[in-house]
Amino acid sequence: MLWLRQEAWPQGWLALPLPLDGLVGHPGGATAHVVDEWLPVKDRPTTAVLEWHQGAPIGHHWTYDSQSSAGDWLGTSRYSCSLCVFASKRDLPLAIAWRPRLADLYALVERGRGGTFRPDWRITI
């Protein structure tokens, strides 16, 4: 996972340990990869990012709007996978509305397994 803005992840940055066993090329299985990070807006507040986008030559992603091309910035608070378990409770209903077939599949899995999407959120009603 890559969080592009620190403000978008209020709980702070996560550093998850990477298991080396079983990956190709390492005595234990892992290969080394060099990843360059370029995060120009990481430490910028949301208001500054919104202001920059007003004059940008490329528009923002539709997920930030209440509906595609609305331009109202009333969509999700951060760009993420559809129905992300890390999404806010405000963002989840938007994701369900935008991807109803995917939400139906998640609900089917919930019913089949008897579990929940996450401990504090159930997709099935």
| In a domain? residue 52 | no
The residue with greater pLDDT, 17 or 120, is 120
Domain that holds residue 103: 76-125
Q: Is there a domain that residue 64 lies in?
A: no
- Residue 38 counted as domain residue: yes
The reply to whether 80 and 120 lie within a common domain is: yes
Q: How many residues does the chain have?
A: 125
- What is the model's pTM? 0.57
Copy the structure tokens of residue 10. 């209020």
Please indicate, yes or no, if residue 86 is contained in any of the structural domains.
yes
Q: Report how many domains make up the chain.
A: 2
The amino acid sitting at 59 is G
pLDDT at 16 over 70: no
With respect to residue 81, please indicate whether it lies within any of the assigned structural domains.
Answer: yes
The answer to the question of residue 2 being in a domain is yes
Q: What is the mean pLDDT of residues 29-34?
A: 56
Assess whether pLDDT exceeds 80 at residue 85. Answer: yes
DSSP state of 25: T
**Torsion from C-alpha of 80, 85, 90, 93, nearest 10 degrees:** 90
